[in-house]
Amino acid sequence: MEAKEALNLCSPSLMLFPKFKLLISTTTLAATAAEVRPFHHLLPSIKAYYSSSSSSPVDIPPFDALVSGILDSDPAAFTRGFRAPDSIKPLLSEPHLFLAALRSVRRRPRLALRFFRWAESQPGFPCSEAAFCAVLQILAEGGLMRAAYSVAQRVLHLRLHGIVDLLIDGHAGPEATAPLLDLLLWLYTKCSMVELAVSTFYKMVAHGFLPDVKNCNRILRILRDTAQWTEEGKAEEALKILGEMEDQDAGCLPNDITYNVIINGLSKKGELDKAEKLLDKMRCSRKASSFTYNPLISGLFSKGFVDEALGFRDEMVGFGVMPTVVTYNALIYGLCRSGRMEEAQEKFVEMGKMNLAQDVVSYNSLIYGYCRLGNVKEALCLFNHLRDAHIAPNIRTYNILIDGHCRLGALDGAQKFKEEMICSGFLPDVYTYTILVNGSCKMGNLAMAKGFFDEMLQKGLEPDCHVYTTRIVGELKLGDTSKAFQLREEMKAKGITPNIVTYNVLIDGLCKMGNLKEAYGLWQKMVHDGFHPNCVTYTCLINAHCEKGHMREAKYLFDSMLSNNLSPTVVTYTVLIHAHANKGNLEAAYGYFSKMLEENVLPNEITYNALINGLCRKHKVELAYELFDKMQGNGLSPNKYTYTLLINENCNLGNWKEALRLYAEMHEKEIIPDFCTQNVLFKGFGEDFKHHAVKFLETDVLCS
């Protein structure tokens, strides 16, 4: 009778709500009175609900008794394997009924979560932002944020990102909205969903919801760590977010971590002026730490500002900020890259005096520095010292030593270290094989290069763009452009996209062979493939035009670089200075020299040599000596070529005494004269007499 009464109560509205017919269905009629009795008190509410034309949530019948009653009658209800009774099936297919049922048990958040998770697993359940928003609100209001975290993860998995707008519009109530938006913001950063994290941040700030400063810092980190940080305006976005944070009165004001993250990113990008402006704020707040200074020190070294980098170390100590192992490793590596090995060694020793333990990174930096200068003997001494100190070498240690041997053309030694690294438990990686392929190509042994390449494939290692580019360089060195382009097609066939370096290598190869027309054709193809010419691309073509004496075309390319907001490097300027100095156009050469100084591009030894060469050609020896002294004053060491230029011009002018003094100075500085040096010193002598003259000079005169 009770079941019939329920059906009769609902019958006037069944035509309007056909799905609800299932709620009190023939199955319900077949149920026993005992099964239906627990829901008998709902009948007046159901009747009122269907008699009303209002759609307000307050008119929805209290489904809490329905959901709770099912759980009370069956403790396994709403768990895996539980089959939905006919009485509850309409709730699963009708979104507004499900939301009503879910909200009816909001005071029992654990039950709501259990009911929601079960419902979501049922076939045909309509997953919507509204349903997830409702259960997240219940969990947040109930203080179950850990459970809310797992539900929010599901939101991301289902890509229901519209939930952010629902929360912003107030669908979750004032108490739950802010913590739930922060939760989603955290998850977006955790999953590196950069665009969604940034858009959520701006939506929150625009509507008065202040994100937690930790989440703001997480956004800045993922912006900094994206591959597009230096190319697609991510740094500018980070600075914009910082500005928004600084404009807030409270809540998400930037802290020292905020500034450190952005300083780190700007330093990596090379925007040191912007990084130093932020450092000024840290100085004023007295919150600068080693995390603030370390990236700036590395950034300054990478730009060639060695003395400025060393100055920051002194500033740290002056502000009471103690350098860390990371600080010293940055100093040692930067000095090694600059060829200042004696100072690098001093910093290495200084670490120990400050009770900072040298680690494998410290040793690797010094080993790298010596290998880079061709002093593999000293590098091997450090390698032995490393093991004596019970510090385990890593794969980078072995790769550096293999590279050191390859630089000297000692491929047997490189192979020996490859075998030793395997015995030490390190498997050669793509970088190892790239070094070996590169070393073989440099020695002109393309068969060996191909052998290493094939071995890499046999080991299951996938060659990357850099390996292919290295092989292309080898083929171009031998003048085989067809093979080089064949390798480019091979890499594309394997799904390896050539990068800007690959294109630059090919353009440079064509330029060096004098095929400027083909080089420009490849330039167009590079642009078509979505790569913008960079400084290297321009420099290759500028050099090719300079080699051909096309100075007007070279200047046009240089001006084009500037108009495209590309900063010429020391190589670009040196190419132009060398070309103009060689042609005797010292005014143009000095013009480029002055411009590079204005742009804070530091000249290197080759730049000075180019100018000294031009001055000597014009017999302006005094000016040449001024540059000779200036380069040493700027921390650059004259090399064999510098001395040879000055010796040659002194001999031309008959200044034999000065020429011999320079030759002796070379020996004092352990700069070994080569055939060219000896040739200019004794030009005019016969070959036999020249040999005897060199022997007499070095054994009897210089050693006396």
* Choices 1.25.40.10, 3.40.50.1110, 3.90.1150.10, 1.20.1050.90: CATH for 410-498: 1.25.40.10
Confidence class of residue 44 from pLDDT cuts 50, 70 and 90?
A: very low
Give CA–CA dist 421/435, Å, rounded: 14
The pLDDT > 70 percentage for the chain reads 87
- pLDDT of residue 475 exceeding 60: yes
- pLDDT of residue 41 exceeding 70: no
- What pLDDT score was predicted for residue 398? 96
Query: Which pTM value belongs to this model?
Result: 0.64
Q: Look up residue 100 and give its two tokens.
A: 């009503």
Confidence class of residue 36 from pLDDT cuts 50, 70 and 90?
A: very low
Report in angstroms the alpha-carbon separations of 95 from 99, 101, 131, 404, 605: 6, 10, 8, 68, 75
Q: Look up residue 485 and give its two tokens.
A: 């382009």
- pLDDT of residue 17 exceeding 50: no
Confidence class of residue 106 from pLDDT cuts 50, 70 and 90?
A: confident
- What pLDDT score was predicted for residue 35? 39
- pLDDT of residue 685 exceeding 70: no
Look at 81-85, 144-148, 166-170, 304-308 and tell me which has the smallest mean pLDDT: 81-85
- pLDDT of residue 228 exceeding 90: no
- pLDDT of residue 132 exceeding 80: yes
- What pLDDT score was predicted for residue 247? 79
DSSP reduced 3-state for 672: coil
Give CA–CA dist 558/567, Å, rounded: 10
Contact between residue 603 and residue 593 where contact means Cβ atoms under 8 Å apart: yes
- pLDDT of residue 244 exceeding 90: no
Give CA–CA dist 346/341, Å, rounded: 9
Residue in this structure with the two tokens 């510098």, named with its chain if needed: 642
- pLDDT of residue 491 exceeding 80: yes
- pLDDT of residue 471 exceeding 60: yes
Q: pLDDT digits over 141-183, tens only?
A: 999 999 999 999 999 999 999 999 999 988 888 889 999 999 9
- pLDDT of residue 16 exceeding 50: no
Q: What's the CATH code, domain 578-701?
A: 1.25.40.10
The pLDDT > 90 percentage for the chain reads 40
DSSP state of 252: S
Give CA–CA dist 518/505, Å, rounded: 13
Question: Where exactly are the structural domains of the chain?
Answer: 74-228, 410-498, 578-701
- What pLDDT score was predicted for residue 543? 94
Confidence class of residue 50 from pLDDT cuts 50, 70 and 90?
A: very low
- pLDDT of residue 13 exceeding 60: no
